[in-house]
Structure 1
Amino acid sequence: MRATLRWAHADFRAHRGEALFVVLASAGIIASLLLAGALFGYAANPWQRVFNQSHGAHIWLHTRAGADTAALSRVDGVAALSGPYRTTATTVESRGARVGVTLRAAGAEPPQTGRPLVTDGSWLTGPDTAAGGGPGAGNDTVVLEASVARALWAEPGDTVRVTGPDGAPHALEVSGIAEVAEPRYHPGGGPGIGWVLDRTLDEVAHGDTGQSVGLRLHDPDDTDFTVQRAVTLLGSDRVAQVTKWQQARAEAGGDDRLLGQMFAVFGLGALLAAALAAAGAIGARVRGQLRDIAILKAVGFTPGQVTRGFLVQHLAFALLGVALGTAAIALLGARIPGRIGEATAVWQDLPGHTALMIGIPCGAVLLIAAATGLSAWRAGRVPPVPVARAALPSATPMTALGRRALGARVPPALVLGWRAAFPRRGRTLAAVARLALPLVLITVALVAWSTLDQFRSRPAQMGLAAALTVRAGQSPGTNDAELEQALAAVPDVAAVHPGAEMAALVPGQTGTITLRGLGTAQDPYPSKVVEGRAVSGPDEAVAGQGLLDLLGVRVGAWVRMTVEGRPQILHVVGRTIEPESGGRVITTSIDALRERDPALRPDFHALVLREGADPVAVSASLAGTAGGTLEVRQTPNPVDRLEPARAVIAALIAVLALIGLIELLTLIGTGVRDRGRDLLALKAIGLTPRQIGSMIVTAAGLTALASAVVGTTLGVLSGRWLVDTQGASSGIGAGIAQLPPIPVLLTVIVAAVLGAVGAAALPATRAARRRPADSLSETL
């Protein structure tokens, strides 16, 4: 054992550069994996992120005015209070959209507990606090919760109309948009949240207010018990509503699941790519010491001693690299500029942080130990005669095509670079596969990015043909035909489709689905049909993937359902992309629904806009239609829930690029070292240093080119399959995958080649400058 340790120490002193590379490669891989874990946690659990950043409250009590909420701070288990805030129920209107909002009176500084996170604009200002004529210098201001702002198309600087309990309108300027860890607003649900100054609330409510107070607990599991004690303390007659953190998290659970599944695939792929990169770096160093191993065995080292020496040495390098990478992320990760640093800072407070900080490094050490064990076992089998290894050819013989190319005056660097890049079939496939894996994952990430962009830029292709939904009061004097004519006369409105939605019971009455009548037989709604055909006759319908999976049927089946106690039988002739209600929607024409109920009137009208039209401008134009009684809403877009994925995908591409760079450096270093004798021979026959350097750079570029072509091709195919599979499992349906544009894929290929050329420049220069005497030992 003493001889083994002495040899390991001597080997380290003789190959410090290689040892440093192994340590830094291990540290870089661990840092990349930890950053990937931080990004996954940041994006896949948005509610928890907001809760931690805002120091959120676990319980919100909405009470009547006069309740002694200060006594709640003395309840056992309560760590802090948020508020109490005076509140009032209002209606906020902007550009024809109308949303119920509970206004809370807050101070000029956000509270510490239950603090709204302002993501756009600024916190509350007013005529007496604003300066310089900026936002809020002339009007009272309001901060809207993000889901409320989306429903109103409101942005900082816009003016909204707030109607208080007395019916009097008040103009408030939106100073900011904020996120909170409370239930979000959605049409048909509870009211949204807005914050105003005390003076503004007095003007809107005129004394008709309630109270809201948030309780942050020491132990979140004591929520139910604490609610009981709080209600008992205040009096059940004074508590109007209780909101618990589990309710808010459950509402955001669908987004968490979708993002979690998306990034789990990337995480496993990144782990595999990192594993191959680490194994490649260690294997390359072992192969570079075959001559030393042969000499050791010649002087008496047994195969077991050689194996143990490599295990001890490389495990020490691995432990050092893992420790450096983990310490760097733990201490400096939060200081990285941009979204990566923010994600790392928030990740420290998210569930699972400790498990990943321990599990990823430990798993990496075990993986490196397995790779080192395999390489060390191969080292133990090296023959103790170095001449036997030197006598073997280091590259394939020159082919007839190569000889003809040299005879045709093709530059020797190109011909020899091609020969060096693709020496033998087995080694070529292994090198291309290892370098192609990060590029496959990068291309898959680009497919996901392009799909999100498609939802935003071309919603009609993703099942969102109607940009706006208009609802009118169902007064006896309302004429549907006149309303449709008025809506069609609004500029930039291309089509108006009457619609109605209702709940229907599936066969066996074991579940509820959404039955939608949209469009007429003469003017059908332009649903995005990806399988089958569109509705063209009576009793025909199209359905989402979620409904087909629920009923266990396929396109072409007849479906019987019960609506308001009466049967409705429809023929499913097509499958559509259906982003709403988990795809459990069946859509027919409103004429088919009137066969069951002749008195049926449209609940809403779906407006299809002209290409390039601005939904916000059209919504503002609709505000004065039908005497201002319209309620205009934007069609929900699932990409709104996946916005955090954009920044994380971009950061993930950077992490994968780092892993690919480490793999590329390993391949280049191995190639230069294995071709040492060839370079000596080429110099002897007259190749100049520039030609030798060009040959090495050309070999790296060709290897990267082959890997990039293979990686992008496989990434496009696997990315389409993964996105469509995810769409089918979520109920939206397959057929939503959007491939990146050709220029983007070409940019990936060009970037990979340029990266390889740049990474090979320094090793090529060093190899070209070596004198024949420096390389003489490589022939022994």
Structure 2
Amino acid sequence: MRAMLRWAHADLRTHRGEALFIVAATAGIVASLLLATALFGYATNPWQRVFTQSRGAHVWIHTGAGADSGRLAALSALDGVDAVSGPYRTAAATVATAASRGARAGVELRAAGAEPPATGRPLITAGRWLDPAAPHGVVLEASLARALWAEPGDRLDLAGRTVTVLGVAETAERRYRPGERPGTVWALPRALPEDRTGGQVVGLRLADPDDTDYTVQRAVTTLGSGAVTDVSTWQQARAEAQGDTKLLGQVLGLFGLGALIAAALAVFGAISTRVRGHLRDISVLKAVGFTPGQVVRIFLVQHLAFAVFGAALAVLLVRTLGARLPGRLGDAVQVWQGLPGHLPALLLVPVAAVLFIGAATCLAAWRAGRVPPVPVLPPAAAPGGGLSGAARKALALRVPPALVLGWHRAFGRGRRAPATIVRLALPLLLITVALGAWTTIERFHSRPEQLGLAAALTARPDATLTDREATALLRGNPHVTAAHPGLEVAALVPGQTGTIALRGLGTRAQPYPYSIAEGRPAHGPDEAVAGQGLLDLLGARVGDWVRLTVGGHPQVLHIVGRSIEPENGGRVISTSLDTLRENDPGLRPTLYQLQLRPGADPRTVSTELADASGGRLDIHEVTSPADRLSALRGLVAGLIAVLALIGLTELSTAIGGTVRDGERDLLALKAIGLSPRQITAVTVTALGCTALAAALAATVIGVPLANWLIDREGHASGIGAGIAHAPPLPHLLALTAAAVLGAVALAALPAAHAARRRLADTLSAAA
């Protein structure tokens, strides 16, 4: 044991840089996997915590004011319904506060008692619940409060009267989204206005959440489809709460797994190269009495120690500094550290990574144990091995011998060259995929019109503005190039259990510029384009006819194209406002999508329009998925750094192997008259050619792989395929140049040192 430790210590002192690279790469990989685990936990568990503590309802059904109260009461008798929340009387209203600089939000006023309900109970996070002693007090849902910058004690303008915010509450229902989904405001029953715009809402808590779809179908049948205006389920609320944080976790987990494989291959290559370079040392170990098992244990334990040290370093960094990371990632780590499954994951992920790396080292260590006490030089590896026909022709054409021999050393040494290229190409391939993800996110910022975001602002006029006045006011701004009138309503699809968004936007004379990924734009009557999420929901495709129910009235549309839809999970079908008016001529637009001149500042234009309208226009910036994915760019940069570190590890291994393989050829090269500088050029050229081949293979495979992965993720998220963009050619060329120049720069010093070795040392190494 003492002899094994002494040899391992001597080997570590000789190859400090290689050991440091392996430890750092392992630490980066394990840290990436731990952050991915944290993001997954952050994406799911906060919503699950709220749902559990509030005894949340699995289904929320909204009806019109005329819904039969007897049928609503009958919902509690449905099979599988464990408890009912409500029904509660509701009313639509608009709320504004001076603290939000005049911004308004559409809300659903919901009548509630002085005590929170037992089922679907809002969890107070600030302030207190409703109090009969404060009849004008309200409680705001947390996402609505954040949008209005409202806190307990603030005064709001609600439906023409002033109310006071008593508290802020979290709920497991779907969140407020400007212009798409109203926020929830709880108020005492007498605070709700008596008008025809009101309705009722009831929540159903089920004994078995898997029966949600069946229960919704029975509930809609009991109430009548004409009475139901909206249905939301716990799956929709959870998916919305997960949002893009889940995507971050998936991306980080995918790259972490790829980096783990790349690191395992790098470690395998390092041990294999070390075995070839230590044939004489291993033979001496066996000659002095070391058994094959002891030799295997030396190499295996040594590299497992590197992996354990790197994993422990990653755990320490994530544990102490993870919560201090900026943005959503730091919040994710902080929340994850407070979850019950935090400590098991903190232990299992590093252990799994170490075992994975250990499994990859077993084969190389086993090969070390098979080295005979007297190593035999393989005939194929004899010094001065024959040149290929192409190499001879190159020499005949007076190509510099250093280049020809370097190329021959890189690709003419049997199976070692392809294996080295594959190991070096894997991290470069993952970097190429990461650059593809970065480019796609940047395209959401730079070219949003190509990704379903042609409009920069959404304007919603109040009831005092006519359509003509609103259009004239919006088009009168010099920065507005087009103002597309439209509206969006919830629609039911026969045989389905949820609602989808039916959007009428633009006119046939001035159609809205949708981003069409398949088919063609909608021009004629009853023609529409649909998002990928809607097509998947209905099992439909371009060319099909679909029948929707809007407010109890049927609407039949012909899907002529698939559009890129970044909102509502792609569950959107869009047609022109003229088509919707054919069924109901009295429809008036409720919003205008504004296209701005290039270079116009949306916030400046928003302020100008708000001032010109005297506060009669509610204007919001169009939310881009790139805003929600902003944290992904920082993660991609970190992943590229980890992958570059793994690539350097493999490159250092390849340099060591190439230098050692060239030691036997050193005498022959000197014998034919090559100078030390030319011999150095042979080694440097061999490494440069290897890096170039790996970079080209990574580019050729990585670009289509990145497009496929991004489009698959777009399809799964409902946005739809067609959003992927390959990295710009200058970026790919820069990656290739960095790989080649890095290989040349790192190989220059050891190659020069080897070329100037004494002949006695060379003979000793070749013996």
Common fold: TM-score over 0.5: yes
How many angstroms apart in 2 are the aligned matches of 1:659 and 1:632? 49
Residue 190 in 1 paired to residue 178 in 2? no
Residue 473 in 1 paired to residue 466 in 2? no
How many angstroms apart in 2 are the aligned matches of 1:395 and 1:90? 84
How many angstroms apart in 1 are the aligned matches of 2:145 and 2:331? 24
Q: Which of 237, 241, 245 is the equivalent residue of 1:252?
A: 241
1:321-720 counterparts in 2 under 5 A? 321-331=306-316, 334=320, 346=334, 349=337, 351=339, 353-383=342-372, 385-389=374-378, 392-393=381-382, 396-424=385-413, 426-475=415-464, 478-720=465-707
- Partner amino acid for 2:276? R
Deviation readout 1:665-698 (Å, 9 max, x if unpaired): 1111111112210123212332222222222222
Q: Which moved more, 1:504-513 or 1:652-661?
A: 504-513
Q: Does the aligned pair in 2 maintain the 1:545–1:583 contact within 8 Å?
A: yes
How many angstroms apart in 2 are the aligned matches of 1:370 and 1:439? 23
Q: Does the aligned pair in 1 maintain the 2:485–2:505 contact within 8 Å?
A: yes
Give the superposition deviation at 1:773: 0.7
How many angstroms apart in 1 are the aligned matches of 2:9 and 2:626? 55
Q: Which of 97, 104, 116 is the equivalent residue of 1:91?
A: 97
Determine helix, strand or coil for the equivalent of 2:543.
coil
Deviation readout 1:46-105 (Å, 9 max, x if unpaired): 669999xxxx99989xxxxxxxxxxxxxxxxxxxxxxxxxxxx8524767743489xxxx
C-alpha change, 1:558 and 1:114, in structure 2 (3 Å) is closer
Residue 285 in 1 paired to residue 294 in 2? no
- Partner amino acid for 1:543? A
Equivalenced residues, count: 636
How many angstroms apart in 1 are the aligned matches of 2:524 and 2:459? 26
Structure 1 stretches lacking a partner, 5+ long: 61-88, 102-112, 116-144, 155-160, 170-179, 193-245
Deviation readout 1:535-586 (Å, 9 max, x if unpaired): 1111100000001111111101111111111211111000000011110111
How many angstroms apart in 2 are the aligned matches of 1:279 and 1:389? 22
**Aligned CA-pair RMSD:** 4.0
How many angstroms apart in 1 are the aligned matches of 2:448 and 2:41? 26
C-alpha change, 1:660 and 1:590, in structure 2 (3 Å) is same
C-alpha change, 1:730 and 1:249, in structure 2 (3 Å) is closer
How many angstroms apart in 1 are the aligned matches of 2:380 and 2:516? 66
C-alpha change, 1:318 and 1:90, in structure 2 (3 Å) is same
- Partner amino acid for 2:443? Q
- Partner amino acid for 1:288? G
Query: Structure 2-normalised TM-score?
Result: 0.74
Residue 24 in 1 paired to residue 17 in 2? no
How many angstroms apart in 2 are the aligned matches of 1:652 and 1:343? 19
Determine helix, strand or coil for the equivalent of 1:639.
helix
How many angstroms apart in 2 are the aligned matches of 1:391 and 1:532? 59
C-alpha change, 1:258 and 1:763, in structure 2 (3 Å) is same
Determine helix, strand or coil for the equivalent of 1:624.
helix
Give the superposition deviation at 1:482: 3.0
Determine helix, strand or coil for the equivalent of 1:574.
strand
How many angstroms apart in 2 are the aligned matches of 1:708 and 1:549? 38
Give the superposition deviation at 1:363: 2.8
C-alpha change, 1:388 and 1:260, in structure 2 (3 Å) is closer
Give the superposition deviation at 1:729: 0.3
Determine the structure 2 residue equivalent to 1:213: none
Q: Does the aligned pair in 1 maintain the 2:35–2:333 contact within 8 Å?
A: no
Q: Which moved more, 1:726-735 or 1:181-190?
A: 181-190
Determine helix, strand or coil for the equivalent of 2:337.
coil
Residue 309 in 1 paired to residue 294 in 2? yes
Give the superposition deviation at 1:453: 0.9
Query: Structure 1-normalised TM-score?
Result: 0.73
Deviation readout 1:298-329 (Å, 9 max, x if unpaired): 7887xxx31x1232112321342133223433
C-alpha change, 1:651 and 1:395, in structure 2 (3 Å) is farther
Determine the structure 1 residue equivalent to 2:135: none
How many angstroms apart in 2 are the aligned matches of 1:545 and 1:752? 39
Structure 2 stretches lacking a partner, 5+ long: 55-94, 108-123, 127-140, 163-169, 186-234
How many angstroms apart in 1 are the aligned matches of 2:652 and 2:125? 49
How many angstroms apart in 2 are the aligned matches of 1:630 and 1:343? 35
1:113-124 counterparts in 2 under 5 A? none
C-alpha change, 1:268 and 1:345, in structure 2 (3 Å) is closer
Determine helix, strand or coil for the equivalent of 1:570.
strand
Residue 37 in 1 paired to residue 33 in 2? yes
1:128-143 counterparts in 2 under 5 A? none
- Partner amino acid for 1:398? L
- Partner amino acid for 1:522? A
Q: Does the aligned pair in 2 maintain the 1:96–1:622 contact within 8 Å?
A: no
Determine helix, strand or coil for the equivalent of 2:97.
strand
Give the superposition deviation at 1:335: 6.2
How many angstroms apart in 2 are the aligned matches of 1:752 and 1:443? 12
Q: Does the aligned pair in 2 maintain the 1:39–1:343 contact within 8 Å?
A: no
- Partner amino acid for 2:576? S
C-alpha change, 1:721 and 1:600, in structure 2 (3 Å) is same
Percent identity (aligned): 53
Q: Does the aligned pair in 2 maintain the 1:42–1:49 contact within 8 Å?
A: no
Q: Does the aligned pair in 1 maintain the 2:26–2:310 contact within 8 Å?
A: yes
C-alpha change, 1:357 and 1:676, in structure 2 (3 Å) is farther
